[in-house]
A and B are shown apart, each in its own frame.
Chain A
Amino acid sequence: MRLPKFAYLAPRTVADAVKMMGDAGWEGQFVAGGTDLYPNMKRRQQTPKTVISVARLAELNEISGDGKSGVRVGAGVSLTDLIEHPVIVRDYPSVAAAARTISTPVLRNMGTVGGNLLLDTRCNYYDQNYEWRRGINFCLKKDGDVCWVAPGSQKCWAVQSADLVPLMVAIGARVRLVSTLGERVIDAAALYRDDGINYLHKRHDELLADVQLPALNGWRATYKKLRRRGAFDFPVLGVAVRLDVERGGAVRAAKVILGGIAPAPVEVPDAEAALVGGSLDDERMRRAAEACYVKARPLDNTDFVMNWRKQMTKPYVLRALEELR
Protein backbone atom coordinates (compact mmCIF):
# COMPACT_ATOMS: atom_id res chain seq x y z
CA MET A 1 0.00 0.00 0.00
CA ARG A 2 1.38 3.36 -0.95
CA LEU A 3 0.44 6.84 0.05
CA PRO A 4 -1.62 8.77 -2.50
CA LYS A 5 0.02 11.87 -3.92
CA PHE A 6 -0.26 15.07 -1.93
CA ALA A 7 1.50 18.37 -1.46
CA TYR A 8 3.63 18.48 1.68
CA LEU A 9 4.24 21.67 3.61
CA ALA A 10 6.57 22.13 6.57
CA PRO A 11 5.86 25.49 8.23
CA ARG A 12 8.35 26.99 10.70
CA THR A 13 5.82 28.60 13.03
CA VAL A 14 2.30 27.98 14.30
CA ALA A 15 1.22 31.22 12.62
CA ASP A 16 2.48 29.93 9.26
CA ALA A 17 0.90 26.52 9.86
CA VAL A 18 -2.59 27.89 10.46
CA LYS A 19 -2.27 30.26 7.53
CA MET A 20 -1.34 27.33 5.28
CA MET A 21 -4.38 25.47 6.56
CA GLY A 22 -6.56 28.49 5.91
CA ASP A 23 -5.32 28.50 2.32
CA ALA A 24 -5.67 24.72 1.87
CA GLY A 25 -9.28 24.69 3.15
CA TRP A 26 -11.10 21.36 3.37
CA GLU A 27 -8.40 19.60 1.35
CA GLY A 28 -5.78 20.40 4.00
CA GLN A 29 -4.73 18.19 6.88
CA PHE A 30 -2.31 18.74 9.75
CA VAL A 31 0.07 15.89 10.57
CA ALA A 32 2.43 15.43 13.53
CA GLY A 33 3.59 11.86 14.24
CA GLY A 34 1.75 10.45 11.23
CA THR A 35 0.93 7.18 12.96
CA ASP A 36 -2.83 7.72 12.57
CA LEU A 37 -2.97 9.77 9.36
CA TYR A 38 -0.57 7.85 7.12
CA PRO A 39 -2.18 4.42 7.60
CA ASN A 40 -5.54 6.07 6.93
CA MET A 41 -4.15 7.68 3.79
CA LYS A 42 -2.71 4.36 2.59
CA ARG A 43 -6.15 2.79 3.01
CA ARG A 44 -7.71 5.85 1.34
CA GLN A 45 -9.84 6.59 4.41
CA GLN A 46 -8.39 10.09 4.37
CA THR A 47 -7.18 11.67 1.14
CA PRO A 48 -6.01 15.22 1.82
CA LYS A 49 -4.51 17.17 -1.08
CA THR A 50 -2.25 19.18 1.22
CA VAL A 51 -0.52 17.77 4.29
CA ILE A 52 0.89 20.36 6.69
CA SER A 53 3.49 18.97 9.09
CA VAL A 54 3.58 20.48 12.57
CA ALA A 55 6.00 17.83 13.85
CA ARG A 56 9.00 20.07 14.14
CA LEU A 57 7.38 23.24 15.47
CA ALA A 58 9.32 24.12 18.63
CA GLU A 59 6.26 25.98 19.97
CA LEU A 60 4.34 22.71 20.14
CA ASN A 61 7.14 20.67 21.68
CA GLU A 62 7.35 22.07 25.18
CA ILE A 63 6.19 20.89 28.56
CA SER A 64 6.05 23.72 31.10
CA GLY A 65 4.74 24.37 34.61
CA ASP A 66 4.31 21.96 37.49
CA GLY A 67 1.65 20.37 39.64
CA LYS A 68 1.19 23.50 41.76
CA SER A 69 0.20 25.74 38.87
CA GLY A 70 -0.83 23.19 36.29
CA VAL A 71 1.16 21.93 33.34
CA ARG A 72 0.97 22.88 29.70
CA VAL A 73 1.86 20.05 27.33
CA GLY A 74 2.49 21.00 23.72
CA ALA A 75 0.42 18.98 21.27
CA GLY A 76 3.56 18.00 19.37
CA VAL A 77 5.26 16.39 22.38
CA SER A 78 5.86 12.73 21.61
CA LEU A 79 4.20 10.17 23.86
CA THR A 80 7.68 8.90 24.81
CA ASP A 81 8.74 12.37 25.93
CA LEU A 82 5.49 12.77 27.88
CA ILE A 83 5.99 9.48 29.71
CA GLU A 84 9.62 10.25 30.56
CA HIS A 85 9.18 13.90 31.57
CA PRO A 86 10.13 14.29 35.26
CA VAL A 87 7.26 16.66 36.10
CA ILE A 88 4.69 14.38 34.49
CA VAL A 89 6.15 11.34 36.24
CA ARG A 90 6.16 13.10 39.61
CA ASP A 91 2.95 15.16 39.52
CA TYR A 92 0.72 13.41 36.97
CA PRO A 93 1.47 9.68 37.26
CA SER A 94 -2.00 8.82 35.95
CA VAL A 95 -1.23 10.68 32.72
CA ALA A 96 2.11 8.91 32.30
CA ALA A 97 0.50 5.55 33.04
CA ALA A 98 -2.35 6.09 30.58
CA ALA A 99 0.07 7.22 27.87
CA ARG A 100 2.15 4.13 28.51
CA THR A 101 -0.79 1.94 27.50
CA ILE A 102 -0.86 3.55 24.05
CA SER A 103 0.53 1.37 21.31
CA THR A 104 4.25 0.42 21.49
CA PRO A 105 7.52 2.16 22.40
CA VAL A 106 8.42 2.66 18.74
CA LEU A 107 5.04 4.17 17.89
CA ARG A 108 5.20 6.31 21.04
CA ASN A 109 8.50 7.71 19.75
CA MET A 110 6.51 8.94 16.75
CA GLY A 111 2.98 9.58 18.00
CA THR A 112 2.15 12.80 19.82
CA VAL A 113 -0.10 13.95 22.63
CA GLY A 114 -2.16 16.02 20.19
CA GLY A 115 -2.42 13.15 17.73
CA ASN A 116 -3.78 10.88 20.43
CA LEU A 117 -6.37 13.46 21.53
CA LEU A 118 -7.52 13.87 17.93
CA LEU A 119 -7.26 10.19 16.90
CA ASP A 120 -9.73 9.26 14.19
CA THR A 121 -12.65 7.18 15.42
CA ARG A 122 -12.29 3.48 14.65
CA CYS A 123 -14.59 0.74 13.38
CA ASN A 124 -14.24 -2.78 11.99
CA TYR A 125 -16.01 -1.64 8.81
CA TYR A 126 -13.83 1.44 8.36
CA ASP A 127 -10.27 0.47 9.35
CA GLN A 128 -9.78 -1.72 6.30
CA ASN A 129 -8.00 -1.23 3.02
CA TYR A 130 -9.73 0.31 0.03
CA GLU A 131 -10.51 -2.99 -1.72
CA TRP A 132 -12.03 -4.47 1.44
CA ARG A 133 -14.21 -1.41 1.93
CA ARG A 134 -15.22 -1.42 -1.73
CA GLY A 135 -16.21 -5.08 -1.26
CA ILE A 136 -18.93 -4.03 1.19
CA ASN A 137 -19.86 -1.00 -0.93
CA PHE A 138 -18.10 1.23 1.62
CA CYS A 139 -19.72 2.62 4.76
CA LEU A 140 -21.28 5.80 6.05
CA LYS A 141 -18.02 7.16 7.47
CA LYS A 142 -16.22 7.13 4.14
CA ASP A 143 -17.48 6.81 0.54
CA GLY A 144 -20.70 4.91 1.38
CA ASP A 145 -24.21 5.53 2.65
CA VAL A 146 -24.90 2.64 5.02
CA CYS A 147 -23.64 2.14 8.56
CA TRP A 148 -22.93 -1.60 8.62
CA VAL A 149 -22.96 -1.68 12.42
CA ALA A 150 -26.47 -0.25 12.61
CA PRO A 151 -27.87 -0.37 9.06
CA GLY A 152 -30.95 1.70 9.85
CA SER A 153 -28.86 4.43 11.41
CA GLN A 154 -28.29 7.88 9.99
CA LYS A 155 -25.40 8.22 12.42
CA CYS A 156 -21.87 6.82 12.26
CA TRP A 157 -20.98 4.68 15.28
CA ALA A 158 -17.20 4.53 14.86
CA VAL A 159 -15.58 4.38 18.27
CA GLN A 160 -13.52 6.83 20.30
CA SER A 161 -10.30 4.79 20.72
CA ALA A 162 -7.60 7.04 22.20
CA ASP A 163 -6.38 6.25 25.70
CA LEU A 164 -5.62 9.81 26.79
CA VAL A 165 -9.10 11.06 25.93
CA PRO A 166 -11.18 9.61 28.81
CA LEU A 167 -8.49 10.59 31.31
CA MET A 168 -8.13 14.17 30.02
CA VAL A 169 -11.91 14.59 30.16
CA ALA A 170 -12.03 13.09 33.66
CA ILE A 171 -9.32 15.30 35.13
CA GLY A 172 -10.76 18.44 33.54
CA ALA A 173 -7.89 19.22 31.17
CA ARG A 174 -8.35 22.08 28.74
CA VAL A 175 -7.14 22.39 25.16
CA ARG A 176 -5.97 25.42 23.22
CA LEU A 177 -7.07 25.67 19.60
CA VAL A 178 -5.44 28.13 17.20
CA SER A 179 -6.52 29.37 13.79
CA THR A 180 -6.07 32.47 11.65
CA LEU A 181 -9.11 33.88 13.47
CA GLY A 182 -7.35 33.74 16.82
CA GLU A 183 -7.33 31.17 19.56
CA ARG A 184 -9.68 29.70 22.15
CA VAL A 185 -9.28 27.45 25.16
CA ILE A 186 -12.02 24.90 25.83
CA ASP A 187 -12.57 21.99 28.18
CA ALA A 188 -11.35 18.68 26.78
CA ALA A 189 -14.89 17.42 27.38
CA ALA A 190 -16.17 20.05 24.93
CA LEU A 191 -13.78 18.88 22.22
CA TYR A 192 -15.66 15.65 21.49
CA ARG A 193 -19.03 15.01 19.90
CA ASP A 194 -21.06 11.84 19.71
CA ASP A 195 -20.78 11.31 15.97
CA GLY A 196 -18.24 8.92 14.45
CA ILE A 197 -17.75 11.14 11.39
CA ASN A 198 -17.72 14.64 12.86
CA TYR A 199 -16.28 13.49 16.16
CA LEU A 200 -14.68 16.79 17.14
CA HIS A 201 -15.94 20.27 17.95
CA LYS A 202 -12.58 21.50 16.66
CA ARG A 203 -13.10 23.38 13.41
CA HIS A 204 -11.21 21.93 10.46
CA ASP A 205 -8.96 25.00 10.26
CA GLU A 206 -8.05 24.94 13.95
CA LEU A 207 -4.74 23.54 15.16
CA LEU A 208 -4.63 21.86 18.56
CA ALA A 209 -1.71 23.69 20.16
CA ASP A 210 -1.57 22.35 23.68
CA VAL A 211 -3.36 20.58 26.47
CA GLN A 212 -3.44 22.14 29.91
CA LEU A 213 -3.43 19.81 32.90
CA PRO A 214 -5.18 21.23 35.98
CA ALA A 215 -3.26 22.09 39.14
CA LEU A 216 -3.05 19.38 41.76
CA ASN A 217 -5.35 20.29 44.61
CA GLY A 218 -6.01 16.96 46.17
CA TRP A 219 -7.50 15.06 43.25
CA ARG A 220 -6.24 11.71 42.07
CA ALA A 221 -7.04 9.85 38.90
CA THR A 222 -6.48 6.58 37.09
CA TYR A 223 -7.16 4.90 33.77
CA LYS A 224 -7.87 1.23 33.11
CA LYS A 225 -7.80 -0.25 29.63
CA LEU A 226 -9.31 -3.41 28.17
CA ARG A 227 -7.63 -4.80 25.07
CA ARG A 228 -6.87 -8.19 23.57
CA ARG A 229 -3.08 -8.19 23.68
CA GLY A 230 -1.12 -6.87 26.61
CA ALA A 231 1.67 -5.84 24.25
CA PHE A 232 -0.37 -3.41 22.20
CA ASP A 233 -3.88 -2.81 21.00
CA PHE A 234 -6.45 -0.07 20.83
CA PRO A 235 -8.81 0.01 23.82
CA VAL A 236 -12.18 -1.69 23.48
CA LEU A 237 -13.07 -0.26 26.87
CA GLY A 238 -11.35 2.49 28.81
CA VAL A 239 -12.29 3.63 32.30
CA ALA A 240 -11.01 6.95 33.65
CA VAL A 241 -11.87 8.09 37.16
CA ARG A 242 -10.96 11.29 38.99
CA LEU A 243 -11.76 11.61 42.69
CA ASP A 244 -11.52 14.65 44.92
CA VAL A 245 -11.31 13.30 48.45
CA GLU A 246 -11.60 15.37 51.65
CA ARG A 247 -9.20 14.94 54.56
CA GLY A 248 -11.65 12.77 56.43
CA GLY A 249 -11.87 10.44 53.46
CA ALA A 250 -15.23 11.56 52.09
CA VAL A 251 -15.46 11.85 48.31
CA ARG A 252 -16.24 15.48 47.50
CA ALA A 253 -16.41 15.16 43.73
CA ALA A 254 -16.04 12.38 41.19
CA LYS A 255 -15.71 12.08 37.45
CA VAL A 256 -16.24 8.75 35.73
CA ILE A 257 -15.60 8.63 31.97
CA LEU A 258 -15.84 5.57 29.74
CA GLY A 259 -13.95 5.31 26.46
CA GLY A 260 -13.93 2.79 23.66
CA ILE A 261 -17.69 2.22 23.67
CA ALA A 262 -19.18 5.09 21.65
CA PRO A 263 -18.12 7.79 19.19
CA ALA A 264 -17.30 10.12 22.10
CA PRO A 265 -16.11 9.62 25.67
CA VAL A 266 -19.14 8.86 27.86
CA GLU A 267 -19.64 10.49 31.25
CA VAL A 268 -21.62 8.48 33.80
CA PRO A 269 -23.37 10.95 36.16
CA ASP A 270 -25.14 8.16 38.07
CA ALA A 271 -21.79 6.60 38.94
CA GLU A 272 -20.45 9.97 40.03
CA ALA A 273 -23.50 10.56 42.23
CA ALA A 274 -23.06 7.12 43.78
CA LEU A 275 -19.48 7.93 44.75
CA VAL A 276 -19.95 11.40 46.22
CA GLY A 277 -20.83 12.17 49.84
CA GLY A 278 -19.05 9.53 51.86
CA SER A 279 -15.98 7.40 52.01
CA LEU A 280 -15.17 5.07 49.15
CA ASP A 281 -16.67 1.88 50.53
CA ASP A 282 -17.63 -1.35 48.81
CA GLU A 283 -21.27 -0.36 48.46
CA ARG A 284 -20.54 2.98 46.76
CA MET A 285 -18.08 1.28 44.45
CA ARG A 286 -20.58 -1.44 43.58
CA ARG A 287 -23.29 1.13 42.78
CA ALA A 288 -20.87 3.12 40.63
CA ALA A 289 -19.83 0.01 38.71
CA GLU A 290 -23.47 -0.95 38.22
CA ALA A 291 -24.28 2.53 36.88
CA CYS A 292 -21.43 2.23 34.36
CA TYR A 293 -22.63 -1.20 33.30
CA VAL A 294 -26.12 0.18 32.63
CA LYS A 295 -24.75 3.18 30.73
CA ALA A 296 -22.24 1.28 28.57
CA ARG A 297 -23.82 0.20 25.29
CA PRO A 298 -20.95 -0.84 23.03
CA LEU A 299 -21.86 -1.89 19.50
CA ASP A 300 -20.47 -4.81 17.53
CA ASN A 301 -17.78 -2.89 15.67
CA THR A 302 -14.52 -3.47 17.56
CA ASP A 303 -12.50 -6.45 18.69
CA PHE A 304 -14.35 -8.83 21.10
CA VAL A 305 -18.10 -9.43 21.25
CA MET A 306 -20.08 -6.48 22.50
CA ASN A 307 -21.86 -8.20 25.36
CA TRP A 308 -18.58 -9.24 26.90
CA ARG A 309 -17.22 -5.70 26.55
CA LYS A 310 -20.32 -4.45 28.36
CA GLN A 311 -19.89 -7.05 31.10
CA MET A 312 -16.28 -6.05 31.57
CA THR A 313 -17.37 -2.52 32.49
CA LYS A 314 -18.06 -3.57 36.09
CA PRO A 315 -14.71 -5.17 36.94
CA TYR A 316 -12.79 -2.42 35.17
CA VAL A 317 -14.62 0.33 37.07
CA LEU A 318 -14.04 -1.56 40.30
CA ARG A 319 -10.34 -1.94 39.51
CA ALA A 320 -10.05 1.79 38.88
CA LEU A 321 -11.83 2.65 42.14
CA GLU A 322 -9.85 0.06 44.08
CA GLU A 323 -6.65 1.71 42.95
CA LEU A 324 -7.88 5.11 44.18
CA ARG A 325 -9.22 3.81 47.48
Chain B
Amino acid sequence: MNGKQKAHIEFTLNGERAEVAFAPHKTLLEVLREDLSLTGTKHGCELGECGTCAVLLDGRSVLSCLVLGLDAEGRSVQTVEGLADAAGLHPLQETFADTGAAQCGYCTPGFLLVAKELLAHNDNPSREEIKEALSGNLCRCTGYIKIYEAVELAAARMRGEEMELPREAVYGLE
Protein backbone atom coordinates (compact mmCIF):
# COMPACT_ATOMS: atom_id res chain seq x y z
CA MET B 1 0.00 0.00 0.00
CA ASN B 2 1.54 3.34 -0.91
CA GLY B 3 1.11 6.57 1.03
CA LYS B 4 -1.46 8.19 -1.25
CA GLN B 5 -4.37 5.78 -1.14
CA LYS B 6 -6.69 5.51 1.82
CA ALA B 7 -6.57 2.35 3.86
CA HIS B 8 -9.80 0.62 4.73
CA ILE B 9 -10.23 -1.70 7.69
CA GLU B 10 -12.99 -3.64 9.35
CA PHE B 11 -12.76 -4.35 13.04
CA THR B 12 -14.78 -4.60 16.24
CA LEU B 13 -15.07 -1.30 18.06
CA ASN B 14 -16.61 -1.32 21.51
CA GLY B 15 -18.39 -4.55 20.70
CA GLU B 16 -19.82 -3.46 17.37
CA ARG B 17 -18.60 -4.10 13.84
CA ALA B 18 -17.03 -1.01 12.40
CA GLU B 19 -15.26 0.02 9.23
CA VAL B 20 -13.26 3.09 8.50
CA ALA B 21 -11.06 4.57 5.77
CA PHE B 22 -8.00 6.68 6.64
CA ALA B 23 -4.55 7.69 5.48
CA PRO B 24 -2.47 4.53 5.96
CA HIS B 25 0.27 6.09 8.07
CA LYS B 26 -2.19 7.22 10.75
CA THR B 27 -1.96 5.84 14.25
CA LEU B 28 -4.94 4.13 15.86
CA LEU B 29 -5.25 7.19 18.12
CA GLU B 30 -5.60 9.47 15.11
CA VAL B 31 -8.07 7.13 13.43
CA LEU B 32 -10.23 6.92 16.56
CA ARG B 33 -10.27 10.65 17.15
CA GLU B 34 -10.24 12.05 13.64
CA ASP B 35 -11.90 9.45 11.45
CA LEU B 36 -14.32 7.92 13.97
CA SER B 37 -14.89 11.05 16.11
CA LEU B 38 -14.28 9.12 19.32
CA THR B 39 -12.44 11.79 21.26
CA GLY B 40 -12.60 10.05 24.61
CA THR B 41 -9.17 8.57 23.92
CA LYS B 42 -6.77 11.40 24.67
CA HIS B 43 -3.79 12.68 22.76
CA GLY B 44 -0.89 13.22 25.16
CA CYS B 45 2.85 12.87 24.63
CA GLU B 46 2.49 10.93 21.36
CA LEU B 47 5.67 9.04 22.24
CA GLY B 48 4.54 6.30 24.60
CA GLU B 49 5.47 8.06 27.82
CA CYS B 50 2.19 9.25 29.37
CA GLY B 51 -0.44 6.49 28.91
CA THR B 52 -3.41 8.77 28.27
CA CYS B 53 -4.08 7.21 24.84
CA ALA B 54 -4.36 3.66 26.22
CA VAL B 55 -7.05 1.46 24.70
CA LEU B 56 -7.67 -2.28 24.85
CA LEU B 57 -6.69 -4.23 21.74
CA ASP B 58 -8.05 -7.78 21.94
CA GLY B 59 -8.42 -7.16 25.68
CA ARG B 60 -4.82 -6.05 26.21
CA SER B 61 -3.87 -2.48 26.97
CA VAL B 62 -1.82 -0.75 24.29
CA LEU B 63 -0.88 2.84 23.60
CA SER B 64 -2.92 3.87 20.59
CA CYS B 65 -0.38 6.57 19.69
CA LEU B 66 2.13 3.79 18.88
CA VAL B 67 -0.20 1.38 17.07
CA LEU B 68 -1.04 1.88 13.41
CA GLY B 69 -4.71 2.04 12.51
CA LEU B 70 -3.88 -0.69 10.00
CA ASP B 71 -2.94 -3.02 12.84
CA ALA B 72 -6.52 -2.96 14.16
CA GLU B 73 -7.75 -4.83 11.09
CA GLY B 74 -9.89 -7.78 12.19
CA ARG B 75 -9.26 -7.13 15.87
CA SER B 76 -11.28 -5.88 18.80
CA VAL B 77 -10.71 -2.37 20.13
CA GLN B 78 -12.23 -1.00 23.30
CA THR B 79 -12.15 2.69 24.15
CA VAL B 80 -13.54 4.62 27.10
CA GLU B 81 -16.73 5.18 25.12
CA GLY B 82 -17.42 1.45 25.36
CA LEU B 83 -17.02 1.14 29.11
CA ALA B 84 -20.58 2.01 30.12
CA ASP B 85 -23.39 -0.26 29.00
CA ALA B 86 -27.19 -0.23 29.11
CA ALA B 87 -27.07 -0.99 32.82
CA GLY B 88 -25.07 2.16 33.50
CA LEU B 89 -21.50 3.18 34.17
CA HIS B 90 -18.74 0.64 34.62
CA PRO B 91 -17.89 0.19 38.34
CA LEU B 92 -14.51 1.83 37.71
CA GLN B 93 -16.20 4.89 36.25
CA GLU B 94 -18.45 5.10 39.29
CA THR B 95 -15.65 4.77 41.79
CA PHE B 96 -13.39 7.23 39.96
CA ALA B 97 -16.26 9.73 40.33
CA ASP B 98 -17.02 8.73 43.93
CA THR B 99 -13.44 9.07 45.15
CA GLY B 100 -12.50 12.15 43.19
CA ALA B 101 -9.95 10.13 41.24
CA ALA B 102 -10.55 12.40 38.27
CA GLN B 103 -9.69 16.06 38.60
CA CYS B 104 -8.95 17.60 35.21
CA GLY B 105 -9.89 14.21 33.76
CA TYR B 106 -7.42 14.14 30.90
CA CYS B 107 -5.64 11.00 32.10
CA THR B 108 -8.84 9.26 33.21
CA PRO B 109 -9.74 7.28 30.06
CA GLY B 110 -6.28 5.71 29.99
CA PHE B 111 -6.39 4.86 33.68
CA LEU B 112 -9.87 3.34 33.35
CA LEU B 113 -8.89 1.00 30.55
CA VAL B 114 -5.60 -0.14 32.07
CA ALA B 115 -7.40 -0.70 35.39
CA LYS B 116 -10.10 -2.67 33.59
CA GLU B 117 -7.42 -4.94 32.10
CA LEU B 118 -5.91 -5.44 35.56
CA LEU B 119 -9.24 -6.38 37.12
CA ALA B 120 -9.97 -8.81 34.28
CA HIS B 121 -6.90 -10.84 35.38
CA ASN B 122 -6.91 -10.15 39.08
CA ASP B 123 -10.15 -9.48 40.92
CA ASN B 124 -8.43 -8.59 44.18
CA PRO B 125 -5.19 -6.77 43.39
CA SER B 126 -2.94 -5.50 46.15
CA ARG B 127 -1.99 -1.83 46.31
CA GLU B 128 1.44 -2.80 44.92
CA GLU B 129 -0.09 -4.68 42.02
CA ILE B 130 -2.31 -1.71 41.21
CA LYS B 131 0.68 0.61 41.35
CA GLU B 132 2.66 -1.54 38.96
CA ALA B 133 -0.24 -2.00 36.55
CA LEU B 134 -0.85 1.76 36.40
CA SER B 135 2.83 2.75 36.38
CA GLY B 136 2.67 3.82 32.74
CA ASN B 137 -0.22 6.23 33.25
CA LEU B 138 0.69 9.72 34.37
CA CYS B 139 -1.67 11.94 36.35
CA ARG B 140 -0.54 15.47 37.14
CA CYS B 141 -3.51 16.41 39.37
CA THR B 142 -4.50 13.82 41.93
CA GLY B 143 -1.24 12.32 43.07
CA TYR B 144 -2.50 8.79 42.42
CA ILE B 145 -3.80 7.88 45.89
CA LYS B 146 -7.43 8.47 44.97
CA ILE B 147 -6.90 6.56 41.75
CA TYR B 148 -5.56 3.56 43.65
CA GLU B 149 -8.49 3.79 46.06
CA ALA B 150 -10.95 3.98 43.17
CA VAL B 151 -9.51 0.78 41.69
CA GLU B 152 -9.64 -0.98 45.07
CA LEU B 153 -13.22 0.14 45.61
CA ALA B 154 -14.30 -0.95 42.13
CA ALA B 155 -12.60 -4.33 42.60
CA ALA B 156 -14.48 -4.81 45.87
CA ARG B 157 -17.81 -3.84 44.34
CA MET B 158 -17.19 -6.15 41.37
CA ARG B 159 -16.53 -8.99 43.82
CA GLY B 160 -19.85 -8.13 45.44
CA GLU B 161 -18.23 -6.96 48.66
CA GLU B 162 -18.89 -3.90 50.75
CA MET B 163 -15.89 -1.68 51.20
CA GLU B 164 -15.53 1.58 53.07
CA LEU B 165 -13.00 4.13 51.96
CA PRO B 166 -10.49 5.23 54.56
CA ARG B 167 -11.88 8.26 56.37
CA GLU B 168 -9.08 10.51 55.10
CA ALA B 169 -9.92 9.56 51.54
CA VAL B 170 -13.28 11.27 51.94
CA TYR B 171 -12.58 14.05 54.45
CA GLY B 172 -8.83 14.58 54.06
CA LEU B 173 -6.42 14.60 56.97
CA GLU B 174 -8.10 16.12 60.01
Contact = CB atoms under 8 A, between A and B. Distances in A.
B114 A110 contact: no
A10 B133 CA distance: 31
Interface stretch (A65-73, A100-108, A165-173, A251-259): A100-108
A43 B65 CA distance: 13
Nearest to A109: B60
Main secondary structure on A side of the interface with B: loop
Nearest to A100: B132
Given A5-B25, A6-B25, A8-B1, A105 B61 contact: yes
Interface string A1-14: 11111111110000
B1 A232 contact: no
A110 B63 contact: yes
A38 interface: yes
A22 interface: no
Nearest to B61: A106
Nearest to B4: A5
A83 to B, nearest CB: 11
Nearest to A230: B135
A105 B133 contact: yes
B154 to A, nearest CB: 18
Interface residues on chain B, size class: 20 to 34
Interface residues of A, number: 29
A34 B132 CA distance: 22
B66 A39 contact: yes
A198 interface: no
A57 to B, nearest CB: 13
Interface in A70-123: 80, 103-107, 109-110
B63 A107 contact: yes
Given A7-B3, A104-B136, A1 B68 contact: no
Contacts of B1: 7-9
A270 B120 CA distance: 49
A181 interface: no
A3 B67 contact: no
A2 B30 contact: yes
Contact of A106 (B62, B68, B71): B62
A280 to B, nearest CB: 31
B62 A110 contact: yes
Contact of B136 (A39, A55, A105): A105
24 contacts: A1-B46, A1-B47, A2-B25, A2-B30, A3-B25, A6-B3, A7-B3, A10-B70, A34-B66, A34-B68, A35-B66, A39-B46, A43-B47, A55-B71, A80-B60, A106-B62, A106-B63, A107-B48, A107-B63, A109-B60, A109-B61, A110-B62, A110-B63, A232-B136
